[in-house]
Amino acid sequence: MGFSAGAAIRFGWETFKRRPWFFVGSTFLILLASGLCDGFTSGIDAALTGSAEDPSIIGTVINFALGTLISMGATAFFLAAHDNPDTVDLSALWHPRPFWKYLGASILLGLAIGIGFVLLIVPGVIFALMFLFTTFIVIERELGPIDAMNESNRLTRGHKWQLFGLVLLLVLINLLGVLAFIVGILVSIPVSTLAFVHAYRMLGGNAETRPADAAIAA
């Protein structure tokens, strides 16, 4: 199946419409967990440094660890939601394995993209597109950070401009979600994330066209 940004976004929307309140609720839980994590670690910082604005080493480590677990859960959830939207449940949000591989991949991604942006921005964009699917691959295949980055590079090779266009469209969708009285992000986040997962599936040759999704197959 060939990659298409439009098909990915249509898939995200059509899949969201199958269980809209479930996806809104699950997205709210993810955002709530993230907010509680920030609040909890801010409290630790305030207790240790006298100000929530001054980060402490302990608070930073705890925030990074909890944030990684939340990110892993969200990644696993939307992978499962893409493949089984009618049966996925909230238990998919708890996916702590493989923590260390995911953490290592996140650190390496940050370093690679950060160095790329230091080198006149364009390399940073290229690295970001090359390694776009690294965390999906770590969660799904439990590959190590380097192997996952190499596999992401393989999947995205020859599709950089299409992926760049998709990312811009997804950013726009989420900006519109923020402008829609903020609560619009409870729709824009699941739609855009499902579209992002579908791009991963299409480039990996594992995308499914479900019979009920006539709009997607068109």
pLDDT digits (tens, 9 = 90+) for 39-66: 999 999 899 888 878 889 999 999 999 9
Supply the DSSP symbol for 96: -
Q: Is residue 216 part of a domain?
A: no
- The angle, 0 to 180 degrees and rounded to 10, between the axes of the packed helices 160-179 and 185-204 is 170
Mean pLDDT of 137-148: 96
Separation CA 28–CA 189 (nearest Å): 10
Percent of the chain whose pLDDT exceeds 90 = 77
Mean pLDDT of 145-149: 96
The larger pLDDT score, comparing residue 50 to residue 142, is at: 142
pLDDT digits (tens, 9 = 90+) for 193-218: 999 999 999 998 765 544 334 334 43
Mean pLDDT of 113-123: 82
- Give the angle 176-182-186 at the CA atoms, nearest 5°: 85
Q: Is residue 111 part of a domain?
A: yes
What DSSP string describes 8-72? HHHHHHHHHHHSHHHHHHHHHHHHHHHHHHHHHHHHHHHHHHS-TTS--HHHHHHHHHHHHHHHH
Give residue 158's domain range. Answer: 5-208
Q: Is residue 214 part of a domain?
A: no
What's the whole-model pTM score?
Answer: 0.90
Q: Is residue 218 part of a domain?
A: no
Q: Position 79: which residue type?
A: L
Instruction: Say how many domains are in the chain.
Output: 1
Tokens for 60?
């930073």
Q: Is residue 167 part of a domain?
A: yes
